[in-house]
């Protein structure tokens, strides 16, 4: 049987991987005109669902954007800024103006200054070689600044097509859904997908305020805890509201456990503060360092297990981080949260293999 394409986006249909593009639960028949799941949900429910591709597929699918006169909207995650700045997206957007939209602003404590956050992001973008026309802080979940985003897109696009790009788990699909819900087209019931086998393969074209907005698959970010947990467990440790700081004063030779996912061993230094920013659903436990590994082995499938998870015995790797009194540092664990180190000392961060923490200047 030859390839059968989605009549909405032109992608080659498949029914084996629900998270990959062009999935359909239907039997694929050349004689039928079939929509992939993303196009089906857009047509019948007016909403976009996520789909993910790996780095090589992503670049192959979207490299043509670099040659087009379009507006690129790059969605980042406020809770994992650097981790959501993917090199493959940078390569595609190189030398083009980009509107950067930072989603999940509602999860950061209100004490975080938007001006400071914006300055930090612009600095990161400049280092990555990305020219940002503007940086907007939004929340798809809370509908925060969505109208401002729509106005900004209308002003900057000047009738050009709009491509929304981003890594997995930044909330790109949720953001597009919030934009559609607030748009004139959605209010007038005009959200459709085309009926052509010659549409752009894998990109869903959406009529949007007298223009076309393209939803693109998310770029698979393997350095993220979502890829190691089942869906129920992952969702259970995702913050749903503003994250409140949890302050722990630790002496050297003490350990903090963040569920069974992260172990922070304070191996040397002065009594210091570790400020943890994670979901309130994630169990945090303090222990003596010399008891920590035995405690982990005894409780990793019980007391420390994330809600909804049943198999959490991961092979682990360790990263050593030093910090000084003169400069607070954040240790970010992608998909889990971050820990601010205040004081003087050295910690060892143990995480599941494949999840690499990164260190940044403290955000707060």
Three-state DSSP string of 215-252: ECCEECCCCCHHHCCCHHHHHHCCCCCCCCCEEEEECC
* Contact (Cβ atoms closer than 8 angstroms) between residue 94 and residue 127: no
Q: Which of 260, 304, 258, 302 has its CA nearest to residue 284? A: 258
Q: Which of 9, 75, 4, 5 has its CA nearest to residue 42? A: 9
pLDDT in single tens digits along all 364 residues of the chain? 568 888 777 788 988 888 788 889 888 888 788 888 888 888 788 787 888 888 888 888 888 887 888 999 999 999 888 888 887 787 887 777 799 999 999 999 988 888 888 988 888 888 877 888 999 999 999 999 999 999 999 999 988 999 999 998 899 988 988 998 887 555 544 444 444 433 445 677 787 777 888 888 888 888 998 888 877 788 888 898 999 999 999 999 999 999 889 999 999 999 999 999 999 888 899 999 999 989 988 887 777 776 555 555 788 999 999 999 989 999 999 999 999 999 999 999 999 999 999 999 998 8
Q: Which domains does the chain have, with CATH numbers?
A: 37-219 (3.40.50.300), 239-361 (no CATH)
Non-local (6+) Cβ contacts of 68 within 8 A are 161
Non-local (6+) Cβ contacts of 5 within 8 A are 11, 12, 13, 197, 201
How far is the C-alpha of 149 from the C-alpha of 360, rounded, in Å?
28
Rounded to two decimals, the pTM is 0.86
* Contact (Cβ atoms closer than 8 angstroms) between residue 134 and residue 102: no
CA 160 to chain centre: 26
């Amino acid at each position: 049987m030859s390839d059968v394409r989605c009549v909405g986006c032109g992608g080659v249909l498949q029914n084996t991987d629900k998270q990959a593009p062009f999935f359909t639960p239907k039997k694929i028949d050349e004689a039928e005109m079939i929509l992939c799941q993303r196009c089906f949900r857009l047509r019948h429910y007016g909403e976009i669902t996520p789909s993910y591709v790996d780095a090589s597929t992503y670049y192959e699918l979207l490299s043509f954007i670099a040659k087009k006169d379009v507006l690129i909207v790059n969605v980042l995650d406020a809770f994992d800024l650097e981790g959501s700045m993917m090199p493959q997206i940078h390569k595609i957007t190189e030398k083009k103006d980009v509107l950067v939209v930072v989603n999940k602003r509602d999860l950061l404590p209100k004490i975080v200054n938007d001006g400071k956050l914006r300055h930090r992001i612009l600095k990161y973008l400049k280092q990555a070689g990305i020219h940002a026309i503007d940086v907007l802080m939004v929340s798809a979940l809370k509908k925060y600044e969505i109208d401002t985003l729509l106005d900004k897109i209308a002003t900057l696009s000047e009738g050009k097509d709009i491509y929304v790009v981003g890594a997995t788990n930044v909330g790109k699909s949720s953001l597009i859904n919030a934009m559609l819900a607030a748009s004139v087209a959605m209010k007038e019931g005009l959200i459709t997908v085309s009926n052509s086998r010659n549409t752009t393969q894998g990109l869903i074209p959406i009529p949007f305020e007298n223009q076309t907005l393209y939803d693109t698959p998310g770029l698979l970010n393997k350095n993220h805890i979502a890829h190691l947990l089942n869906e129920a467990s992952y969702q259970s440790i995702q913050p749903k509201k503003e994250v409140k700081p949890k302050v722990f004063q630790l002496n050297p030779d003490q350990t903090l456990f963040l569920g069974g996912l992260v172990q922070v061993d304070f191996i040397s230094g002065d009594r210091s503060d570790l400020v943890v920013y994670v979901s309130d659903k994630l169990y945090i436990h303090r222990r003596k360092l010399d008891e920590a590994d035995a405690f982990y082995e005894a409780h990793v499938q019980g007391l420390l297990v994330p809600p909804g998870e049943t198999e959490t015995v991961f092979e682990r790797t360790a990263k050593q981080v030093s910090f000084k009194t003169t400069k607070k540092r954040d240790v970010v664990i992608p998909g889990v949260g971050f820990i601010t180190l205040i004081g003087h000392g050295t910690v060892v961060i143990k995480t599941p293999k494949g999840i690499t923490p990164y260190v940044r200047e403290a955000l707060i």
